[in-house]
Copies of this chain bind each other. A is one copy, B any other.
Amino acid sequence: MELTNKQITVIFKALCDENRVQIFRLLQGGEKCACKLLEALQCTQPTLSHHMKILCDSGLVVGRKEGKWMYYSISAEGTLTAVDVLRELSKVSGSGECCCK
């Protein structure tokens, strides 16, 4: 896959904000319409729209338009990628022949 450092930050930026984590948890209950999320979220509609854009850009969430409604859900592919990236980053391959003595 080989993501750049920049691309990695875009993924994890999605989970850097409390509101977005809360949205994520709401989506664990399955696909939700934007209006349902808005009810739960104590913020204005443009603010929700902004957060949904960041979540979708990260690939962790996908949106689907149906008529005038937007439905959002957790992306199985996106979250798998994120877990992979995190596990890859966690791999330590060296012994750490340090250093300044």
Interface residues of A (CB under 8 A from B): 5-6, 8-9, 11-18, 21-22, 24-25, 27-33, 35-36, 69, 71, 73-74, 76, 79-80, 82-83, 86-87, 89-100
**Residues on the B chain within 8 Å of A5, using CB:** 18, 21-22, 25
Evaluate contact between A69 and B35: CB separation under 8 angstroms: no
Contact between B87 and A83 (Cβ–Cβ < 8 Å)?
Answer: yes
Known: A86-B86, A92-B27. A98 touches B15 (CB 8 A): no
Which residue of B6, B17, B73 contacts A92 across the interface (Cβ within 8 Å)? B73
- Pick from B14, B28, B94: contact of A93, CB under 8 Å: B28
Report if A99-B16 is in contact (Cβ < 8 Å); known contacts: A9-B21, A92-B74. Answer: no
